[in-house]
Amino acid sequence: MKVNKSIVLERWNEGEYKEYRIPGIVVTERGTILCCYEARKSDNDDWAKIDIILARSTDGGNTFTKRTIVKGPPDSITTYNNPVLISDGGLIHFIWHQDYYRAFYQASRDDGMTFSEPKEITYAFEEFRKQYDWNVCASGPGHGIVLENGRIVVPVWLARGEPLDDSGRVKAHFPSVVSTVYSDDRGTTWHAGEIVPGVDSGNETTAVQLSDGRVLLNIRHRGMPKCRGISISTDGAHSFSQTCYDESLPDPMCFASLTKTNGGKILFVNCADSEGRARINLTLRVSDDDCKSWKDDIILDPIGGYADIACVGEDTAYCFYERTVDKGGKGVIEQLILCQINLAD
């Protein structure tokens, strides 16, 4: 494997916003690359005034057009967060949240050029209250998946966090649990899955369908050991297995991503500090046995941050990721970078 090219989509403190974070990427049926991310008015703040940007490329990532597709009122602080894209044939699904409490859905039927008006789907998250009385909810981030039977599966997390300010709007993201929301009618209606058992404050999660049709969740969590949690379901929504841990995938509490090539290999990207402490050594790994083992790893960036990944065919992958640096004693996202990887070399 080797990196063919890289392009910087956004830089810290450039343009209208202070910081750009939380990358998500899909490649459409026509080969168009769609990247979504948060545009934050202040850095190092999950509860900042945040809008959502979509970047679109029809030439393999050489050039992009960008537009703000979710934008809050200018005179108030509204946090639009955790955008998630799902490529579904000629349909592109898009889920995002407001203030980590309300969820919205949009769809595109023209390859990501335009999207339908937002439709609130918080009702699907309200279904979780039978299992867990949350006050913070979020999807992904990154991308969701479409199963062979057409079911759309989006990993989500829910928290019961303490208020962090007098308004009550800002709340802690822990303790937390992990599950999925799913749709069996191409995004018309959404439903809550079952909560994954046996994980200590799991949150940002990525999913992939295995060769036998089961769905594997790869989970970020706060507990020990400092590696990725794994849970498997027959249908991506119910009867998740007790969480176990893949000690070959160290995790410094970072968002990671899974995707599958047309040939059936599974790709995993995450920061790979061997001690699970720092967001360094952003590494791409390959599995040809349904995530039982990993090989053919390549370091995409010696630093890194949150990363999402998408495939084109068997031999090309795109990784859209954060590059985190220290500025004045705090970590900020210096750049959002898209790189193209040749998997055949």
Banded model confidence at residue 282, pLDDT cuts 50, 70, 90:
very high
The pLDDT of residue 189 is 98
Residue given tokens 């809008």 in the structure block: 51
Cα 181 from Cα 216, distance rounded (Å): 14
Banded model confidence at residue 256, pLDDT cuts 50, 70, 90:
very high
In this predicted model, what pLDDT tens digit does every residue of 55-87 receive, in sequence order? 999 999 999 999 999 999 998 999 999 999 999
220: Cα separation from own chain's centroid: 11
Q: Where are the domains of the chain?
A: 2-342
Banded model confidence at residue 280, pLDDT cuts 50, 70, 90:
very high
Q: Which fold has domain 2-342?
A: Neuraminidase (2.120.10)
Asked if residue 326 has pLDDT above 80, the reply is no
Q: Taking all residues of the chain, what is their mean pLDDT, rounded to a whole number?
A: 96
pTM of the model: 0.97
Cα 314 from Cα 264, distance rounded (Å): 8
Cα 246 from Cα 140, distance rounded (Å): 20
In this predicted model, what pLDDT tens digit does every residue of 173-212 receive, in sequence order? 999 999 999 999 999 999 999 999 999 999 999 999 999 9
The pLDDT of residue 277 is 84
Burial class (CB in 10 A: 0-12, 13-18, 19+), 128: buried
**Average pLDDT score over residue span 130-159:** 98
**Average pLDDT score over residue span 98-111:** 98
The pLDDT of residue 138 is 98
Asked if residue 229 has pLDDT above 90, the reply is yes
Asked if residue 296 has pLDDT above 90, the reply is no
Cα 83 from Cα 97, distance rounded (Å): 7
The better pLDDT of the pair 113, 278 is held by 113
Cα 136 from Cα 171, distance rounded (Å): 7
**Average pLDDT score over residue span 30-43:** 97
φ/ψ (deg, to 5) at 259: -155, 170
**Average pLDDT score over residue span 12-38:** 97
Query: What 3-state class would DSSP assign to 256?
Result: coil
Cα 193 from Cα 153, distance rounded (Å): 9
DSSP state of 47: T
